[in-house]
Amino acid sequence: MLPMILGMFLMMPPGPGAAPDRSFRVLVNHCRAASQLLDLPSWERATASHASLAVEAAYCWGYLLGAADAINNSDFTRGLLCVPDNVTAEELGKVIVKVADQHPDLLHEHMVFGLSFALGFTYPCAKEKADRSHPDP
């Protein structure tokens, strides 16, 4: 009887106080939804039947633009990641999905790690810029 009760307990969804899933897979799934939204004709995007795609796209694009701004304005990442200032949220979303497809082993990692890998892989700094930003001690 006890194993059955424990099994039922483990199958229950987490309660409202449970920590949200912050894996890279979650971000990738939101960005895939954003790509689906962009594939729709513009007149169809605003329909109620696609509201959930719009919410997921907003999550993806907002997270990515915030991360890009933080990266571009941080002394910690200066010279390591060089995300262009004019990159769009849509472009960043496509980068995330492409890198996730190429490196599915990242999906279980925390979304910050996956995002950092994807942006570093796609937007590395030129060696000269990295050398100037991090002088030898």
Is residue 13 assigned to a domain? no
Is residue 16 assigned to a domain? no
**Percent of the chain beyond pLDDT 90?**
46
Q: CA-CA-CA-CA torsion for 102, 78, 129, 98, nearest 10 degrees?
A: 10
Is residue 1 assigned to a domain? no
Average pLDDT (19-33) is 91
Distance CA(77)–CA(62), nearest Å, equals 20
Token pair, residue 37, equals 């939204």
Summarize pLDDT for 39-91 with one digit per residue, the tens. 888 777 777 677 888 899 999 999 999 998 888 888 877 778 889 989 999 99
Closest CA to 79 of 136, 131, 137, 135: 131
Tally of domains within the chain: 1
Token pair, residue 8, equals 């039922």
- Domain range for 129 is 21-133
Q: What is the mean pLDDT of the chain?
A: 80
pTM value? 0.73
How confident is the model at residue 6, as a pLDDT? Answer: 39
